[in-house]
């Protein structure tokens, strides 16, 4: 294995090629790691079945060669093998002919994956059969050969491959070469190459906005970590073996790091230019969000035009709100409710609702009509605060400043809401004074907060002055009413009721109004004599004669009684 494949001269040539890269409109993007991880997860590697994955690579390689008429056999009756390698000229000619050049790049990739999966299968079997260790190393060497062939095709000049494809091919080749040296127990070379691959994948993870693809770069970095620690341990530097991977990268050669940094900076710049043309990504709070759906892209373009126009009407706001709801429904149907794009669109919907109500308030004049829009604004801002941004952002200053800005806006709009509620409830003067006082307190708190938007400061200053003025005006008017009311009550109480002055002529105008006093109610209590009570106690002291003698001697009945008794029985 020649070490010149991973030398700094190759890195310098790659930087020169990147600087002379063609326009991104005609470039070729080959997501190598995405293709590899998708194939591995769907064809056996979820269960560690490397044999099944090797068969899949062979079948797909055969299909690609047949579709391109690029088979490696000649003759019909007795076919003979004839090696055919993919070259950069084939890729360029396919691109010029408006054909799919990625199929040519898939050939060396599938060959490398087939050899790698065979090596991993032999590694599993080498536990019981040590001789397969040598076969394993030969298969790794073959995989490295195809990976370096893919790297050469992507980086050869002239080329149509973009910076991302070049870096992915370099990282893939470095990864397989590092694994080869790892199995060959050449720890220094393995450590150097795996660190190079891991660094490129980490930078790609930061540069690529598509979350579904970026997760594969993070997985590959996690796969490399234990291998790097094992290499460092076998090298003999125990301190390196226990350090974090970021510290290990910082100890690399300064010239190589600067070279790699130049490549990655150019990659990020080129990727940003390419994606900004089609609005395939948006920036929110310092994080890049990928946008794949055409409907969402159209909505974001509409948003850009509307934001640049300060005369946006209420109807236009409502149209954009409906469009945003459709975009959210589209993400819900594709089970992307937990993505950062879904939270960004939720923020836009709430922000558009706030703008719509602010525009509506400008056309209202009555305080009773303004209360509800301000309540909706405060509710929308509270929902923005409740968005789960901690899941997508670390302890970032931009997120903290964003939350502080929303909190300052909530306090400011609470001041407006309290002011208008206080104007509506002027009949209950105590409640009105309390609400106006609270409005002035909110204004003072918002003006002290440095996060309050500057365009709201003049309005808050005027609102605080109006609230203080109206508060004391209402308080003074109601104090004057309290002084007049007791005098009128004294006059009316001195007039006797009509029932007590029937013989006296008095012109009472209140008799006609129906509010005069006709009689005192409830009437006053008057003392009256008590009713005497009769208690008959004599019966308890009377003695009656005994009747026992009469009971002992009853009278005998005569013949008349006998006849009556007989006749009475006959009647029965």
- Please name which of 146, 148, 154, 33 lies closest in space to residue 91, comparing C-alpha atoms: 154
Task: Pull the structure tokens for residue 492.
Answer: 């009316």
- The number of C-alpha atoms within 13 Å of 246 and in the hemisphere containing its C-beta is 2
pLDDT category, 542, cuts 50, 70, 90? confident
Percent of the chain scoring above 90 in pLDDT: 32
Of residues 179 and 129, more confidence is placed in: 179
- Please name which of 498, 534, 536, 538 lies closest in space to residue 515, comparing C-alpha atoms: 498
Residue 560 confidence (pLDDT): 63
Whether 411 contacts 446, CB under 8 Å: yes
For residue 551, is it within any domain?
no
Q: What is the pLDDT of residues 14-55, one digit of tens each?
A: 433 443 444 455 788 889 999 999 999 999 888 889 999 999
Query: Which helix (H) or strand (E) is 346 found in, with range?
Result: helix 340-362
Whether 143 contacts 115, CB under 8 Å: yes
Of residues 370 and 483, more confidence is placed in: 370
Q: Which residue has the tokens 């397989």?
A: 176
pLDDT at 450 over 50: yes
Of residues 484 and 116, more confidence is placed in: 116
Residue 301 confidence (pLDDT): 78
pLDDT at 302 over 50: yes
CATH number, residue 105: 1.10.3450.40
Residue 94 CB partners (closer than 8 Å, separation 6+)? 100, 101, 103, 104
Residue 559 confidence (pLDDT): 63
Percent of the chain scoring above 70 in pLDDT: 78
Which segment, 120-124, 247-251, 504-508, is predicted with the most confidence on average? 120-124
How far is 217 from 28, CA to CA, in rounded Å?
A: 20
For residue 185, is it within any domain?
yes
Residue 244 confidence (pLDDT): 43
Residue 5 confidence (pLDDT): 43
Distances (CA, A) of 518 to 201, 240, 297, 486, 488: 99, 105, 81, 22, 18
For residue 123, the enclosing domain spans: 3-278
Note the pTM of the prediction, 2 decimals: 0.53
For residue 103, is it within any domain?
yes
Residue 126 CB neighbours (<10 A): 16
pLDDT at 469 over 80: yes
pLDDT category, 350, cuts 50, 70, 90? very high
Tell me the CA end-to-end span of the chain in Å, nearest whole number.
Answer: 144
How far is 172 from 8, CA to CA, in rounded Å?
A: 17
Residue 262 confidence (pLDDT): 58
Structural domain tally of the chain?
A: 1
Which segment, 61-70, 123-132, 168-177, 468-477, is predicted with the most confidence on average? 168-177
Residue 248 CB partners (closer than 8 Å, separation 6+)? 195, 228, 232, 240
Query: Which helix (H) or strand (E) is 74 found in, with range?
Result: strand 73-74
Compute the average pLDDT of residues 527-536: 80
For residue 201, is it within any domain?
yes
Instruction: Lowest mean pLDDT of 161-175, 237-251, 502-516, name the range.
Output: 237-251
pLDDT at 7 over 70: no
Q: What is the pLDDT of residues 253-263, one digit of tens each?
A: 443 455 555 55
Instruction: Lowest mean pLDDT of 63-67, 302-306, 440-444, name the range.
Output: 302-306
Residue 249 confidence (pLDDT): 42
Q: What is the pLDDT of residues 187-211, one digit of tens each?
A: 999 999 999 999 999 888 888 877 7
For residue 75, is it within any domain?
yes
Peptide bond into 572 cis (omega under 30): no
Whether 227 contacts 189, CB under 8 Å: no
No. of helices (H) and no. of strands (E), the chain? 22, 4
Residue 512 confidence (pLDDT): 66
Residue 237 confidence (pLDDT): 52
How far is 378 from 413, CA to CA, in rounded Å?
A: 7
pLDDT at 4 over 60: no
How far is 50 from 120, CA to CA, in rounded Å?
A: 7
Q: Which residue has the tokens 């910082």?
A: 250
Residue 510 confidence (pLDDT): 67
Compute the average pLDDT of residues 363-373: 88
DSSP single-letter state for residue 546: P
Residue 315 confidence (pLDDT): 82
Whether 371 contacts 424, CB under 8 Å: yes
pLDDT at 569 over 70: no
How far is 330 from 324, CA to CA, in rounded Å?
A: 10
For residue 346, is it within any domain?
no
For residue 160, is it within any domain?
yes
For residue 92, is it within any domain?
yes
């Amino acid at each position: 294995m020649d070490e010149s494949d991973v030398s700094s001269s190759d890195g310098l040539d790659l930087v020169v090629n990147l600087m002379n890269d063609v326009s991104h409109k005609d470039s070729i993007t080959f997501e190598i790691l995405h293709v590899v991880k998708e194939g591995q997860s769907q064809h056996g590697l979820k269960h560690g079945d490397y044999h099944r994955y090797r068969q899949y690579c062979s079948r797909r390689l055969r299909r690609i060669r047949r579709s391109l008429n690029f088979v490696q056999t000649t003759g019909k009756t007795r076919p003979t093998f004839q090696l055919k390698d993919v070259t950069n000229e084939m890729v360029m000619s396919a691109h010029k002919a408006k054909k799919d050049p990625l199929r040519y790049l898939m050939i060396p990739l599938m060959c490398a994956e087939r050899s790698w999966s065979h090596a991993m299968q032999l590694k599993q079997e080498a536990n019981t059969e040590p001789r397969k260790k040598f076969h394993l190393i030969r298969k790794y060497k073959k995989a490295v050969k195809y990976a370096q062939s893919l790297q050469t095709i992507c980086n050869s000049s002239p080329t149509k491959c973009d910076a991302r494809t070049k870096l992915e091919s370099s990282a893939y080749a470095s990864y397989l070469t590092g694994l080869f040296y790892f199995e060959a127990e050449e720890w220094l070379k393995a450590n150097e190459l795996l660190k190079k691959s891991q660094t490129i994948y980490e930078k790609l993870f930061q540069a690529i906005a598509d979350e579904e693809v970026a997760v594969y770069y993070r997985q590959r970095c996690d796969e490399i970590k234990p291998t790097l620690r094992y290499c460092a341990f076998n090298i003999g530097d125990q301190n390196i073996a226990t350090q974090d991977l970021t510290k290990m990268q910082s100890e690399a050669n300064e010239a190589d790091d600067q070279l790699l940094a130049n490549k990655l900076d150019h990659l990020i710049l080129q990727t940003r230019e390419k994606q900004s043309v089609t609005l395939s990504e948006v920036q929110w709070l310092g994080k890049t969000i990928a946008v794949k759906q055409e409907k969402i892209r159209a909505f974001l373009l509409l948003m850009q035009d509307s934001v640049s126009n300060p005369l946006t009407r209420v109807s236009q706001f409502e149209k954009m709100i409906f469009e945003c709801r459709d975009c959210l429904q589209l993400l819900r149907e594709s089970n992307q409710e937990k993505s950062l794009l879904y939270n960004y669109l939720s923020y836009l919907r709430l922000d558009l609702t706030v703008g719509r109500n602010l525009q509506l308030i400008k056309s209202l004049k009555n305080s009773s009509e303004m209360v509800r829009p301000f309540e909706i604004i405060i509710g929308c801002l509270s929902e923005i605060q409740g968005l789960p941004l901690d899941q997508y952002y670390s302890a970032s200053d931009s997120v903290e400043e964003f939350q502080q800005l929303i909190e300052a806006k909530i306090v400011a709009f609470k001041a407006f809401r309290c002011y208008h509620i206080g104007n509506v409830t002027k009949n209950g003067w105590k409640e009105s004074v309390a609400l106006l006082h609270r409005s002035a307190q909110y204004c003072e708190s918002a003006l002290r907060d440095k996060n309050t938007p500057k365009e709201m400061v003049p309005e808050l200053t005027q609102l605080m002055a109006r609230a203080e003025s109206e508060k004391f005006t209402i308080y003074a008017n109601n104090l004057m009413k309290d002084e007049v009311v007791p005098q009128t009550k004294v006059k009316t109480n001195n007039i006797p009721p009509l029932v007590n002055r029937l013989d006296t002529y008095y012109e009472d105008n209140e008799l006609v109004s129906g509010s005069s006093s006709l009689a005192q109610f409830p009437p006053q209590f008057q003392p009256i004599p008590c009713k005497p009570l009769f208690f008959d106690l004599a019966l308890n002291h009377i003695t009656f004669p005994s009747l026992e003698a009469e009971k002992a001697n009853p009278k005998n009945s005569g013949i008349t009684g006998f006849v009556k008794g007989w006749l009475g029985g006959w009647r029965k």
